[in-house]
Amino acid sequence: MIFYLKLVIVDSNYCDYLRQFDSKVPYNYGKKSTRPFVGVLFNIDDMEYFTPLSSPKPKHLKMNNTIDFMKIDSGKLGAINFNNMIPVGKNNYKLLDLDTVRNSDEKKYKTLLSSQLIWLNENIDLVTKRSKRLYDLYNSNKLNVRIKNRCCKFKLLEEKCLEYNKIMVSA
């Protein structure tokens, strides 16, 4: 089976719900209402894990890759923040359709996102292994405390993901 990463927009209400239990869950509103997440990094049972992308910043060029942070194309295309990855159910996100981009600012953004996605898929093994390794080390309590404190609470968020989706189905 061929596996590709995709760009998605995670439902902001879902992120708000998770943030009640973990303040490290990334915000997804205001100017970042269409903040893209890259997914699927890995699956656990029926949950997929997605992680937010960062736009390029000058600081990315100087930063080092770590277990919870990876520069995209040496930082020229931004970064991926594995420490902020979150579990999602099938109903908690929608695919980002880059073909709906219309104005010139959006076209620059579309070009960036397309370039990020190409790089990520060309480096899919590295990206997925890094995310899974962080997840495993976090859950086995084998991470440096400083790094662990930057991470979302993966197991707790998995429980809350299941609860949220059970509530949404019965509503």
C-beta separation of 124 from 76 below 8 A: no
Report pLDDT for 32.
46
Q: What is the pLDDT of residue 169?
A: 78
Q: For residue 44, name the pLDDT band (cuts at 50, 70, 90).
A: confident
Q: Which of 84, 72, 76 is nearest to 124 (CA)?
A: 72
Q: Could you tell me the pTM of the whole model?
A: 0.88
> Which band of pLDDT confidence, cut at 50, 70 and 90, is reported for residue 101?
low
Measured between alpha carbons, how far is 96 from 110 in angstroms, rounded to an integer?
10
Contact 15, 26 (CB under 8 A): yes
User: SS3 string of 51-101?
Assistant: EEEECCCHHHHHCCCECCEEECCCCCCCEEEHHHCEEECCCCEEECCHHHC
Q: What are the structural domain ranges in the chain?
A: 6-170
Between 3.40.50.10490, 3.40.50.720, 3.10.129.130, 3.40.640.10, what CATH number should domain 6-170 receive?
A: 3.10.129.130
The per-residue pLDDT for range 113-160, each reduced to its tens digit, is 899 999 999 999 999 999 999 999 999 999 999 999 999 999 999 999
Residue 20 has pLDDT above 70, yes or no: yes
